[in-house]
Amino acid sequence: MSFITVNRLWKEYGSTIVLENLNLEVEQGEFCTLVGASGCGKSTFLKMLLGQEGPTRGELALEGEEFPGEPDRNRGIVFQRYSVFPHLTVRQNVLMGLELEQKPFLGKLFGQARRQALEKVDAMIESVGLAHATDKWPHELSGGMQQRLAIAQSFIMRPRVLLLDEPFGALDPGIRGDMHELILKLWRETGTTIFMVTHDLQEGFYLGTRLLVFDKVRNDPQQPEAYGATITYDLPIGETNGQLYDSIESSVSKTARNLSA
Amino acid sequence: MRLINRHPGGAVALLLGLAPFLVLILIYGAASQQRLAENPNDKLLPGLEQMTSAVNRMAFQEDRRSGDYLMWQDTKASLQRLGIGMGIAASLALVVGLLNGILPLARAGLAPLVSTLSMIPPLAILPILFIVFGLGELSKVMLIVIGTAPIMMRDVAQRVRELPQEQLIKIQTLGANTWQVITRMALPQVLPRLIDAVRLSLGPAWLFLIAAEAIASEEGLGYRIFLVRRYLAMDVIIPYVIWITLLAIVIDQLLRLTNRRLFPWYNAGGH
Ligand SMILES: Nc1ncnc2c1ncn2[C@@H]1O[C@H](COP(=O)(O)OP(=O)(O)OP(=O)(O)O)[C@@H](O)[C@H]1O
Ligand SMILES: [Mg+2]
């Protein structure tokens, strides 16, 4: 039995079919990148992994058990934006998860327990390279720093699954490179299973262990919502080549044009 | 340069801001002088002299009958009613607004009621308040509460719902239970917004206070104004109105500063 099992999964909103017949098995510790045209359901898939949305049909299982129907501390998430709490400093943002876990009622740590937690927090802040900004407010940070903070906030909980929805979409290419290194480092250290959505096929091709391409196989120009997307390519990273890259690229952009037409 | 792109400098802005006040004072002064020249006993537009002597009488001399300093006594009574009323209204708004904003079940049960309550014209139920709570302090405080709380409740609930969905998901992935979502995410972010809501509600609150005092009271700023109206005592009324306005400005600014002090992230655009 694999860690995550997706079996004949469908997702519909009313008469709109977003995802159709998804089948997938993911082992613990894999790093899957998801690419696909805008609007083809990548975020929807992450929402289902998170428990924010349920499947319309089919099976979605974590270690053989049905996915919990609401978000929990085992599945972390980093969104493109709004992932950190504006009313907390960098340090308080990272500390938050530990406090919530240890103090169900107060939600705050004091004294010795707080000092111990802060040691962990500071180490985590250090490892995402925000040590110089520990006491800053999020609005004082650049976009890249905010994403580092969001990543630290999620990783400190050591979630079993980490979902990243275009986490670097708003960052410039130079900073993206740094962020890739950061995420790979934390991934190796923690062994978390990662799903990352990206618009950058290049990113998808070289980051992680496995590339999942979401695409529509069928398309009805009169009725674009009649068919959903499914996983058209499921490739181990490293066994890819330029020709494949071009063919995925052209297929995805064709779907993108259809979707936006 | 286009008019929309021309910004006044500090000194110019100050002058532009003061100018309308000066103009109004000058117009009033001229009109008052003219009337007083025709009839030194004119009561309609009292001059500075009459007004200072009235203030002196009201604020710095014991009242002959009661032995109180009336203006301070009025101020204390009114501020106390306003403070208690707004305190209760803000607390209610915080609790109900938070629940409505964050718990779908609470919203289903309470939101229609709150919306309906906020549509009732508060002054229309003032007689009911007098009948139910008597003519004492309680009915005046209740008028302020009923007049301001429902709107603030809606405002707070709206602010909670405006918090990004991403945050709500995020805190759940950090393991928060419902209580923690409320206390560690919604409450701290909504407090500065509550203070803003209170600032906006202070205008209506003064209105309700003065209306209630005018109708049934033995002391208070509104009571005094409506009492001396019988004698056409504009020399008391005008300073009282200016005093009320000053109080309102000071309270508003104090709240603004409190917000700045307590919530540095809020005013720096961190929301
Ligand atoms: N709550 C909803 N109700 C109805 N339709 C929805 C809902 N959420 C998503 N959709 C639809 O599902 C489709 C997939 O949306 P989704 O956000 O998953 O796309 P995506 O692949 O993440 O796109 P992008 O790359 O632009 O983020 C879209 O056509 C969208 O309109
Ligand atoms: Mg998306």
Does residue A135 sit within a domain?
no
Q: What is the distance in angstroms between the Cα of A158 and the nearest Cα belonging to chain B? A: 10
B104 touches chain A (CB under 8 A): no
Does residue A101 sit within a domain?
no
A10, A15, A17, A43: which to mutate for ligand 1, most atoms within 8 A of CB? A43
Does residue A68 sit within a domain?
yes
Q: Chains A, B: CB contacts under 8 A, how many?
A: 90
Q: B133: part of which helix (H) or strand (E)? A: helix B126-133
- Residue numbers of the domain that contains A203: 4-84+158-217+230-260
Q: Which residues contact A85 (CB under 8 A, 6 or more apart)?
A: A92, A93, A96, A138, B167, B170, B171, B185, B189
Instruction: Specify the pLDDT at position B107.
Output: 94
- State chain B's mean pLDDT as an integer: 93
Q: What number is the average pLDDT over the span A105-129? A: 90
Q: What number is the average pLDDT over the span B106-114? A: 94
Q: pLDDT for B195-240, tens place per residue? A: 999 999 999 999 999 999 998 888 999 999 999 999 889 999 999 9
- Closest ligand 1 atom number to CA of residue A199: 25
Q: Domain of A204: which CATH number?
A: 3.40.50.300
Q: What is the distance in angstroms between the Cα of B17 and the nearest Cα belonging to chain A? A: 32
Q: Distance between CA atoms of B219 and B233, rounded to whole angstroms?
A: 17
Does residue A117 sit within a domain?
no
Residue to substitute from A73, A100, A147, A165, interface B, most B β-carbons within 10 A: A100
pLDDT confidence bin for A233, thresholds 50/70/90: confident
Does residue A73 sit within a domain?
yes
pLDDT confidence bin for A259, thresholds 50/70/90: confident
Q: What is the distance in angstroms between the Cα of A261 and the nearest Cα belonging to chain B? A: 29
Tell me which of A123 and A218 has the higher pLDDT.
A123
pLDDT confidence bin for B83, thresholds 50/70/90: very high
Q: From residue A147, how far is each of A136, A170, A188 by CA, in Å?
A: 14, 10, 19
Q: What number is the average pLDDT over the span B113-140? A: 91
Residue B270 has pLDDT above 60, yes or no: no
The DSSP code sequence of B198-232 is HHHHHHHHHHHHHHHHHHS-SSSHHHHHHHHGGGT
Q: Using CB atoms, which residue from A107, A138, A154 is nearest to B183?
A: A107
pLDDT confidence bin for A256, thresholds 50/70/90: confident
Does residue A57 sit within a domain?
yes
Cα B234 to ligand 2 centre (Å): 67
Residue nearest to atom 4 of ligand 1 (CA): A13
Tokens 């995420």 -> residue: A183
Q: pLDDT for B26-53, tens place per residue? A: 999 999 999 999 988 888 899 888 999 9
Does residue A35 sit within a domain?
yes
Q: B241: part of which helix (H) or strand (E)? A: helix B234-262
Domain tally for chain A? 1
Share of chain B above pLDDT 90, in %: 81
Instruction: Specify the pLDDT at position A178.
Output: 84
Instruction: Specify the pLDDT at position B21.
Output: 95
Residue B271 has pLDDT above 60, yes or no: no
Contact A187, A196 (CB under 8 A): no
Share of chain B above pLDDT 70, in %: 99
Q: Distance between CA atoms of A39 and A18, rounded to whole angstroms?
A: 8
Q: A18: Cβ below 6 Å to ligand 1?
A: yes
Q: pLDDT for A11-66, tens place per residue? A: 989 888 889 888 999 999 999 999 988 888 999 999 999 988 889 988 888 888 88
Instruction: Specify the pLDDT at position A261.
Output: 66
Counted residue by residue, chain B has a size of 271
Contact B152, B205 (CB under 8 A): no
**Single pTM value for the model:** 0.87
Amino acid at B92: L
Does residue A151 sit within a domain?
no
Residue A239 has pLDDT above 70, yes or no: no
pLDDT confidence bin for B156, thresholds 50/70/90: very high
Residue A10 has pLDDT above 60, yes or no: yes
- Closest ligand 1 atom number to CA of residue A44: 18
Q: pLDDT for A170-180, tens place per residue? A: 777 778 888 88
Q: What number is the average pLDDT over the span B183-200? A: 95
Q: Distance between CA atoms of A59 and A62, rounded to whole angstroms?
A: 10
